[in-house]
Amino acid sequence: MAVNDTVYGVFVLQDQIRADSNSLVQYLNNKQYKIVMLTGDKANVAEVMANEIGIEKVFSEVMPSDKLKTVQSIQESGEVVCMIGDGINDAPALAQADVGIAMGTGADIAMESGDIILIRGDLSKVKKAISLSNKTFRKIRQNLFWASIYNLIAIPMAIFGVLHPILAEAIMAFSSINVVWNSTRLRHETL
C-alpha cells in the first residue's frame, strides 16, 4: 500500500498447505501409491508445495480440461485413478476418476462430481476410506469363497444322490446366512 510514492504497508499472499496433507501423502507413499499433483498454479509455486509435502510428480499450470485429459491418460496406461479435489476446475477430472473424492468445503459442482464427499474437508478420512474399501473387498472375497464352496461341494453331492436335496437346501440357506452375517460385520465401520 502506497500513498504519494511512499510505501506504508505490504501485503504478502501465500498459498497455505493444509495441515493434514503431510500425513496423508506420507501414508499414501508408505502404501506405495503413486501420487501426482495436478494444479493450475505456476510451476515454481507448485514445486515448492509438492516438495514440502513429499509429492514427486507435479503437473503445474494445468487447465481444467487438461486435468481431465491427464486423468484419462493415466487410466489408459492401466492405472486406477483416485482424485481429490475441491474446486470447479477439478469437477470434470473428479467425475472421470475411478474414485473422485471431493472436499465438502469446496465448490458445489466439485461435490456433485465426487464419489466420496469429505463433509468437513478432513483429509485423514481418506485413510479411513482406503481402509474401509480394503475391508469391503476382503469381505467380498470371503463371501465368494463361501458361495463357491457350496457350489463346488453341496450341489454335485445333491445331484449324484450323496446328499439329500432337503439337506442340500439347508446347507445353501446356511451358506446364504453366513454370507449376509459376514457382510453385516462391516456395518459399524464409519468414515
DSSP β-bridge partners for residue 120: none
Full-model pTM: 0.78
Share of the chain above pLDDT 70, in %: 98
Cα–Cα distance between 176 and 53 in angstroms, integer?
Answer: 47
Segments making up each domain of the chain, as ranges: 21-123, 129-184
Do strands 57-59 and 36-38 pair parallel, antiparallel, or not at all (unpaired)?
Answer: parallel
E strand residue ranges, 68-125: 82-85, 99-103, 116-118
Helix (H, G, I), strand (E, B) or coil at 91: helix
Cell output for 23: 500425513
- Rounded mean pLDDT of the chain? 90
- Indicate whether 107 pLDDT > 80: no
Cβ(44)–Cβ(72) below 8 Å: no
- Indicate whether 69 pLDDT > 90: yes
> Which CATH code for domain 21-123?
3.40.50.1000
Residue 172's pLDDT is 87
